[in-house]
Amino acid sequence: MAKKNKRELRKRIDSFRYAFRGIAYIFGTQKNAWIHGIIAILVILSGIILSLNSFEWVLITFAIGFVFAAEAFNTAIETWVDRISPGYDEKAGRTKDMAAAAVLIAAITAAVIGLIIFVPKLL
């Protein structure tokens, strides 16, 4: 029984290691991830300076996470499409365009949330 629990614990630890490796890959290969990261840092610093309340922090945290999750899915989809369709293929290109559109939608949504929260505080 103890051996099985150790194996299960090892699997859980490995799953986190794989996830962190994925994050490192995204930041190591995707320039847009760095742009999103810099913007996230600026938003967090602005939130600290402007003393956001708990609910506003929840919205900001969700928005930042939403953009990074979309970027991760986009990178995964683009990587997979490049693997299965290394040459030009119209449907593969369309798939990659739609994945990129998801990141754009997430970024626009995050920007709107940011405007709703920050503009009244700055006025």
Q: How many residues are listed for the chain in this entry?
A: 123
N-term to C-term CA, the chain:
62
3-state DSSP assignment of residue 30: coil
Annotation says 56 is catalytic: no
Widest Cα–Cα separation across the chain = 62
Active site residue: 56, 71, 78, 90, which one? 71
Closest CA to 28 of 79, 64, 101: 79
**To which residue do tokens 């847009």 refer?**
32
Active-site annotation, residues: 71
